[in-house]
Chain A
Amino acid sequence: MEQKLVALSGNEAVAYAFKQAKPHVAAAFPITPQTEMMHKYAEFVANGQSSTEMILVESEHSAMSAAVGSAAAGARTFTATSSAGFALMWEVVYIAASLRLPICMALVNRALSGNINIHCDHSDSMGGRDAGWIHLFAENAQEAYDNSIMAWRIAEHMDVRLPTMVNYDGFIISHTADALKMLNDDAAYDFIGDYKAAYTLLDPENPITVGPLDLTDYYFEHKASQLEAYERVPGIVASVSEEYGKLTGRHYDLCEEYKMDDADMVMVMLGSSAGTAKDVIDEYREKGVKVGLLKIRMFRPFPVQLIAEKLAGRKAVCVLDRSASFGGQGGPLYMETRSAMYGQKVPMHGYIYGLGGRDFDLHQVRTVIENLKKQASGKEMQDVSLLGVRS
């Protein structure tokens, strides 16, 4: 399919993708670095290019509450936020998933306070990793756009019906102009399709109760059914991605393998830093060093089996986390990956890097690869270390 090559920031690309889904309702509150994305969307509405009803709320708790009300009423709904805004949504983030409402959200990743910081890390989304949403991560504006189209199909799939979060790195992706290919509006909408609500509050012939008291007698069964729906997600993300690949020529899976076929040593990471890592991998490949990258596209649900297969038999694995888990054994991605590798004797270590937007540069990747070489040759590594922090 012919696609237009455009130069857009990640925020603009995601605003376009959401517009192409023709959502009925958007409810959002501005916060850096998300603001530009909703700014762009408001412009579409003001110019008559989108008929989305925009609800201007007084906080993010209200934004997510309005989104839940709208989705329960049967409308295709989205919101967008960052960092502290996501933290303020907290209570309702869980409710959206529990009510099985296919809300889409752009989460422009930014560090959580304190101290106050507007730059990228993944502590915002990681705080919400147990809330029952689907978390997709992007490496660049193209992937943020593509995930924002596919998110609707995944969330609204009748076997899923779970809210879906499109993560992309604050400033690094959100505010950097990037070249990307976009579907035309008709092709994008044909792919996404019309919205069919599983239930609606606005049907007087079939009255329903949403969010009733749910105590010791049924709450557990409702959670069990949510866990079951989550189990179906990986297969559906894979099939939606395959269909999208046929349409656009851009192929996605639950993770992306970069020079993994013969790699003895593997880095595992999320988001924009994968681009930096790929450059340094190329540099080392020229020297004959067998190093590769496993970029995780879907963090929730965590593709446990796939990762265990992809990392099996490697000589050393380094997992890089752009968020800390205070008191945990390494960052969230490291904990999940190590847990997926339980029972396998693959030497692993973890790094925490880039907190609060600290630059992730080529030198840091070189440090990682040098340490991977040491671990692959049998040297004991410190389990978790910090990368790029002043000592």
Chain B
Amino acid sequence: MSFLKNDQLHEGGIIREAGNAHDYSTGDWRTFVPEFKEENCIQCMFCWIYCPDSAIDIDTSGPKPEMKGILLDHCKGCGICAHECPPAKKGKSALVMVREEK
């Protein structure tokens, strides 16, 4: 009995290519979504450090890396970025969680 005509899968379902999480969109599970308030951002990069996925959009083309917003294809709405975002501008944070309206 042969179920697979062309077995191109890796044994045991392992993934041999590194950095592949980027190719798999997992952003459709959210209930809450971080809202980026650019005017409050001090470019501390805490959100990028703490994000467990690759959902923080960083522009590295300039002399200093710059936070541009959230990549929603990968954001699961965990809220860690908003929790870590310092309220540096008059007590206001640059990332705030809001319920996502579909």
Would B15 and A224 count as touching, CB distance under 8 A?
Answer: no
B1 touches A228 (CB 8 A): yes
For window 26-43 of A, CB contacts with B under 8 Å fall at none
Question: B25-65, CB under 8 A of A: which get 1 and which 0?
Answer: 01000000000000000000000000000000000000000
Interface 1/0s, chain A 111-128, versus B by CB < 8 A?
000000000000000000
Q: A208-B14, A209-B14, A231-B1 are in contact. Are A222 and B20 (CB under 8 A)?
A: no
Alpha-carbon separation in the docked complex, A207 to B16 (Å): 7
B12 within 8 A of A: yes
Chain A residues 10-46 with CB under 8 Å of chain B are none
Complex contacts, A211 vs chain B, CB 8 Å: 13-14
Interchain CA distance A199-B11 in the complex, whole Å? 9
A198 within 8 A of B: yes
Contact B3 A210 (CB under 8 A): no
Q: How many A-B residue pairs have CB under 8 A?
A: 57
A-side contacts of B9, CB under 8 Å: 218, 221-222, 225
Q: Mark B59-98, 1 if CB is under 8 A from A, else 0.
A: 0000000000000000000000000000000000000000
Among the 9-residue stretches A54-62, A97-105, A269-277, A340-348, the one with 4 or more Cβ atoms under 8 Å from chain B is: A97-105
Is B13 touching A218 in the complex (CB atoms < 8 A)? yes
Please measure, in the bound complex, the distance between the C-alpha atom of A210 and the C-alpha atom of B24, giving whole angstroms.
16
Closest to A101 in B: B12
Assembled-state Cα–Cα distance A100/B14 (Å): 10
Residue ID in chain A nearest B19 by CB atoms: A207
User: Quick check: is A206 within 8 A (CB to CB) of the other chain?
Assistant: yes
Q: In the complex the two chains form, is B16's CB within 8 Å of A99's CB?
A: no
Which B residues are in CB contact (< 8 Å) with A198? 11-12
Q: Is the CB of B1 within 8 A of A208?
A: no
- A212 interface contact, C-beta 8 A: yes
Residues A161 and B11 in contact in the complex (CB < 8 Å), given A225-B4, A228-B1, A228-B2: yes
B interface SS class: loop
The reply to whether the CB of A261 lies closer than 8 angstroms to some CB of chain B is no
Q: Which residues of B contact A231 (CB under 8 A)?
A: 1
Query: By the criterion CB–CB under 8 Å, are B3 and A228 in contact?
Result: yes
**Interface residues in A, total, Cβ within 8 A:** 24
Contact with B along A163-204 (1 / 0, CB 8 A): 000000000000000000000000000000000001100000
Given the known A-B contacts A225-B7, A228-B3, are A209 and B12 also in contact in the complex, defined by CB atoms under 8 Å? no
Q: CB-nearest residue of chain B relative to A207? A: B18
> Which residues of B have CB within 8 Å of A212?
13-15
- Closest-CB distance, B33 to chain A (whole angstroms): 21
A99–B4 contact, CB under 8 A?
no
Question: Which residue in chain B gives the minimum CB-CB distance to A161?
Answer: B11
Task: Closest B residue to A158 by CB, please name it.
Answer: B11
Within the complex, the shortest CB–CB distance from A216 to chain B, in Å, comes to 13
Residue of A nearest to B7 (CB): A225
- A211 to B7 Cα, complex, angstroms: 19
Structural contact, B15 and A221, CB atoms closer than 8 A: no
**B4 touches which of A100, A199, A206, A224 (Cβ 8 Å):** A224
Interface residues, chain A, CB within 8 Å of chain B?
A: 98-101, 161, 198-199, 206-214, 218, 221-222, 224-225, 227-228, 231
**Known pairs A209-B14, A228-B7. 11 more at Cβ < 8 A?**
A98-B12, A99-B12, A100-B11, A100-B12, A198-B12, A199-B12, A199-B16, A208-B15, A218-B13, A222-B12, A227-B3
8 of the cross-chain contacts (CB-CB < 8 Å) are: A198-B11, A199-B11, A210-B14, A212-B13, A227-B1, A228-B1, A228-B2, A228-B3
In the A-B complex, the 9 residue pairs with the smallest Cβ-Cβ separation, listed nearest first, are A100-B12, A224-B3, A209-B15, A99-B12, A222-B13, A207-B18, A100-B11, A210-B14, A208-B14
